[in-house]
């Protein structure tokens, strides 16, 4: 029996640049879960995370000629694209919210929610509480937390993607950890009142 070697991201991206959709499917299979989890951690919404994941890979396909692999991996670039898509989503969300506030409200009553839906909503509620704390960090610290702590991107890879030194990435993560350690207990106590 022959052992098949998984193609590297570099090999796949070379094929993708030439328009190979099958190679792109392999990249999607390899990284879609990581992008999805990253997007959820940034948004606190499973539905929005699904949309962001789709948008990220659509952008990757459209911009396949300019994708920058980091240490031979497409993941850091994909995570930055997802982060930028979340920022765009927030801007769009603020515009929609402003529009909705001008509309008369309607009340809808739905039946009982399925357990799966309730669990997803509970996850989203908890993530929203965490995001409320994380949003108190500086934008640079939030970006470092999202890449290094939540999505497991190494400090050297994050430095390359962010265009800063590894020391700067480590400093941002360290400052963020310290601030979060002080802020999270405070938020949990307020949530129990």
Give the C-alpha separation, 40 to 35, whole Å: 9
Element (H, E) at 9: helix 9-17
Distances (CA, A) of 23 to 10, 13, 70, 109, 188: 11, 7, 18, 46, 45
Q: What is the mean pLDDT of residues 90-103?
A: 54
DSSP letter assigned to residue 70: B
Looking at the domain 9-102+120-192, which fold is it? Rna Polymerase Sigma Factor; Chain: A (1.10.1740)
- Cβ contact 184:192 at 8 Å: no
- Cβ contact 95:31 at 8 Å: no
Give the C-alpha separation, 178 to 130, whole Å: 15
Taking only Cα atoms into account, the Rg of the chain, rounded to an integer number of angstroms, comes to: 19
Q: What is the mean pLDDT of residues 40-47?
A: 85
What pLDDT shows up at residue 145? 84
The dihedral built from the CA positions of residue 156, 160, 166 and 170, taken in this order, carries a sign that is negative
What pLDDT shows up at residue 138? 87
The whole model's pTM is what? Answer: 0.58
DSSP letter assigned to residue 73: B
Q: Considering the chain, what is the average pLDDT of its residues?
A: 79
**Which tens digit of pLDDT belongs to each residue from 180-189?**
877 775 544 3
Domains of the chain by residue range: 9-102+120-192
């Amino acid at each position: 029996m022959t052992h098949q070697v998984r193609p590297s991201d570099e090999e796949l991206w070379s094929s993708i640049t030439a328009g190979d959709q099958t190679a792109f499917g392999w990249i999607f299979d390899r990284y879609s879960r990581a992008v999805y989890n990253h997007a959820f951690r940034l948004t606190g919404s499973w539905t929005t995370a699904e949309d962001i994941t789709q948008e990220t890979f659509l952008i990757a396909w459209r911009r396949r000629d300019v994708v920058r692999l980091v240490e031979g991996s497409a993941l850091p670039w994909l995570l930055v694209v997802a982060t930028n898509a979340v920022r765009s989503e927030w801007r769009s969300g603020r515009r929609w919210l402003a529009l909705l506030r001008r509309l008369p409200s309607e009340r809808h009553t739905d039946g009982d929610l399925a357990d799966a839906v309730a669990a997803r909503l509970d996850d989203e509620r908890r993530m929203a509480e965490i995001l409320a704390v994380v949003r108190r960090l500086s934008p640079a610290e939030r970006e470092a937390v999202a890449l290094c702590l939540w999505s497991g991107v190494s400090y050297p890879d994050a430095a390359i993607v962010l265009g800063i030194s590894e020391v700067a990435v480590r400093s941002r993560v360290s400052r963020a950890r310290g601030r979060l350690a002080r802020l999270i207990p405070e938020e949990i106590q307020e949530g129990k009142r």
